[in-house]
Chains A and B, each alone.
Chain A
Amino acid sequence: MPVAARPLPPLARACLLVLGGMLAVVWLGPWLLGLPDPHRPEWTALSQAPSAAHWFGTDAIGRDVLARVLAGGRLSLGIGILASAVALVLGLGYGALAGYLGGRWERAMVRALDVLSALPFLLLVILLLTLFERSLWLLLLAIGGYVWIDLARVVRAEAARLREAPFVLAARAAGATTAQVLRWHLLPNLLPIALVYLGLILPQVILVESFLGFLGLGVDEPASSWGTLLAEGAQELDHAPWTLLFPALFLSLTLGAFQFLGDGLRDWLDVRGDSGRAPAAAAPAVAP
């Protein structure tokens, strides 16, 4: 395979395990542990500290914090993954096209990116969510639209390099259309870079969603994400700190794991150099 056969660095592997565990716990946990409905208040157990009955305690209206953290995780991770997919499609398509077309088109498309990134996007997202009726889809679109710009930039730079690659020139000389070159050569070669970059975008998406949730602009009650849980927990910090502590712990663990995984993947795939050439050039120096 063109991708290096080296093993993934241990730290990245550990992060992968943490994230896999997180996904499993968040989706399967409630069913495996037989947790109560995260939205159903239990009026006899208000603001209880962690105990055998409620591992993470209960909140001000007696909802089980563990069940709520897992439900929040489903939403936060789900939004993260979907919004990243939006960013991937937008960024990869736009970046590949801009880089491949070159010349006037490229300049215009890059300028458009500059304009977009000069806008205070978070403010726009907040405005959008305030003006229109809030829905999960609007939230997805807003966040995806916010994080795709950097991805498009990274992809564009690489696509501009590939545009001059002899295998692309040979395809053009043989009469390939722009669509054929993009589909056969550009996208397969750009995808690994975009995926690695996605590892860096995903935590950003989760963070933005949490931030919006914290501001009260996220998903509506009774649904909750880690962000809205943090907002609730912050209000009860003085008498029920566990309602803040546990969502914060899950969020930090996830973000940290993504961050280290992204770094590890970038080194592992050696995204800058093309994988075909690097080993061949290095070989004489190491093993004559």
Chain B
Amino acid sequence: MSALLAVEGLCIDGPAGRLVGPLDLRLAAGECVALVGESGSGKSLSTLALLDLLPPGLSAGGTLSVQGRALPLGGPAHAALRGRCIGWVPQDPLAALHPLRRVGVQVAETLQVVAGLDRRAARRRVLDLFDEVHLPDAAAMARRHPHELSGGQRQRVLVALALAAGPSLLLADEPTSALDPALAEEVLDLLGRLRAGRGLGLLLVSHDLGQVARHADRVMVLREGDVVEAGTTGELLAAPQHPYSRRLVEAARPPAHQPGLDGGEAGLRVDGLSVRYRGAAQPAVHGVDFAVPRGQCLAVLGASGSGKSTIARAVLGLVPGVVGGRIDILGQDLLALPPKRRRALGRDIGAVFQDPFASLDPRMRVADIVAEPLRIHGIGTPAERRARALELLASVGVDPASADRYPHAFSGGQRQRIAIARAMACGPKLLVCDEAVSALDAEHRNAVLALLGRLKREHGLAMVFITHDHDAAAALGDAVLRLDAGRAVPA
């Protein structure tokens, strides 16, 4: 196979020294090469260097050969390749589209500027492109604004945009990280078909090894800017040689199942729960029933917008909308409780949310954050509360010596552990986790899942675990509730 793209000695230098490289990369027509590595390993920077789009202050070195023509990276001829030879599919489809212009016009503009078509020809070509990326009803779709499209449709528009000027090579930087797994798979299948149909080369940046295994021919593992291992996908993933790749592959395996306890007393019982937000035409949740005994976990699975988080908020008593049905927590009817009794019930309820960065008050010390529920209920003296906070931190695997630091000093995984410690402060009997592991990378996700499984058994927690991640649901859930458009659907 002749190389479509060959990069030799790609280096990226910043003010503080070498960031990436030197690395070599070859890509044949119709081939998909994946760049994997944890965040900060230089994956995205490398793609930006190939596009000559490095942020100011960084410079690239090396040579780039496209279809046999060699030129220096970052030289004057490089920028001209952008769009024409090398197409780019960015990560965040909403941020990559102009919010006030129709998507058809945005794609047509590229055709006019880069491919030199006149306006009418460009408009016609847009419809062909939209068909090619399987956007339904291309003519109507072209007249919409980005906010009127779903995430998957927006990502397809961006693929069409990348294809507009007929490049022979696509760079896709985490093209599906903003999408649900099912939609992500559709977009990757689409890229696969384009690869076969147009003979496109695809450089895929991803942190999801499952995705890589299904779609890439070859894999390069990056760590701190260096390639630590490269090879064909099957071989590398089956028998990784470098310790770092072994760690990545290990973390990508489905996490071990965390069994619950049987025969626990009633924890949470929900009958005919309906929630309609003020001003919404459709109820967000419609007649959902479930029961979670203590010591067991109910995994609530569903795509975004299926009403999962609404259920979490309803159970926590945080929903401002109209609530119908009945929520029994430890034998108390939540919706009928007077506010004072509801607040007292807070001792028995813990909550963990998705975003580890927003979950902790940036202006509080970690010890105070963890002790907050105790303070809310006036339990213990300040000294006792602090001692308990240190104990809790140790029990979730955070060094108690760092209790006086602020949240920004901790990584995402550690912050989520701190959030769990806070949820456990009063010794709750019900724990509600809303996408608690979704923002974590595979390694941290598995560790946090194991922690939650241990807490479930040790404290006999009735747990509601809301997620869109099937592996996580299978690992922690003793039962599964699937949601679609606010209704429970059979598994």
Among B368-399, those with CB < 8 Å from A are 369, 372-373, 376-377
Q: List 10 A-B contacts (CB under 8 A).
A: A102-B320, A171-B372, A173-B349, A174-B373, A175-B342, A175-B345, A280-B357, A287-B14, A287-B16, A287-B19
A189 to B358, CA, bound (A): 13
The number of residues on chain A lying at the interface, defined by a beta carbon within 8 Å of a beta carbon of chain B, is: 33
Residues of B within 8 A of A222 (CB): none
Inter-chain contact B353/A175, CB cutoff 8 Å = no
- When C-beta atoms are compared, the residue in chain B nearest to A166 turns out to be B353
B229 near A: Cβ within 8 Å?
A: no
Inter-chain contact B357/A167, CB cutoff 8 Å = no
A172 to B313, CA, bound (A): 11
A103 near B: Cβ within 8 Å?
A: yes
The stretch from B36-44, B129-137, B193-201, B268-276 touching chain A is B36-44
- When C-beta atoms are compared, the residue in chain B nearest to A102 turns out to be B320
The stretch from A56-64, A113-121, A176-184, A203-211 touching chain B is A176-184
Inter-chain contact A167/B361, CB cutoff 8 Å = yes
Interface size class of B (residues with CB under 8 A): 35 or more
Residues of B within 8 A of A275 (CB): 362, 408
Nearest CB of chain A from residue B138's CB, rounded to whole Å? 35
Residues of B within 8 A of A167 (CB): 358-361, 369
- When C-beta atoms are compared, the residue in chain A nearest to B352 turns out to be A170
Chain B 334-358 interface 0/1 with A at a Cβ cutoff of 8 Å (1 = within): 0000000011111101111111011
Nearest CB of chain A from residue B332's CB, rounded to whole Å? 13
A108 near B: Cβ within 8 Å?
A: no
Total CB contacts across the A-B interface at under 8 A? 121
Query: Which chain A residues have a beta carbon within 8 Å of chain B's beta carbons?
Result: 1-2, 102-103, 165-167, 169-177, 180, 184-185, 188-189, 274-277, 279-280, 283-288
Inter-chain contact A173/B358, CB cutoff 8 Å = no
Report if A189-B42 is in contact (Cβ < 8 Å); known contacts: A169-B351, A169-B353: no
Inter-chain contact A288/B225, CB cutoff 8 Å = yes
Residues of A within 8 A of B55 (CB): 285-286
B248 near A: Cβ within 8 Å?
A: no
A185 to B406, CA, bound (A): 14
Pick from A2, A171, A277, A286: contact of B376, CB below 8 A. A171
Inter-chain contact A172/B408, CB cutoff 8 Å = no
Pick from B20, B377, B407, B422: contact of A170, CB below 8 A. B422
Inter-chain contact B376/A274, CB cutoff 8 Å = no
Query: Which chain B residues have a beta carbon within 8 Å of chain A's beta carbons?
Result: 14, 16, 19-20, 39-42, 44-45, 55, 57, 224-225, 278, 313, 316-318, 320, 342-347, 349-355, 357-364, 369, 372-373, 376-377, 406-408, 419, 422-423, 425-426, 432
Inter-chain contact B351/A174, CB cutoff 8 Å = yes
Inter-chain contact B408/A166, CB cutoff 8 Å = no
Inter-chain contact B346/A288, CB cutoff 8 Å = no
- When C-beta atoms are compared, the residue in chain B nearest to A169 turns out to be B318
Report if A170-B45 is in contact (Cβ < 8 Å); known contacts: A102-B320, A175-B346, A275-B362: no
A102 to B40, CA, bound (A): 39
A283 to B360, CA, bound (A): 20
Nearest CB of chain A from residue B19's CB, rounded to whole Å? 5
Inter-chain contact A174/B317, CB cutoff 8 Å = no
Inter-chain contact A2/B408, CB cutoff 8 Å = yes
Residues of B within 8 A of A280 (CB): 357, 408
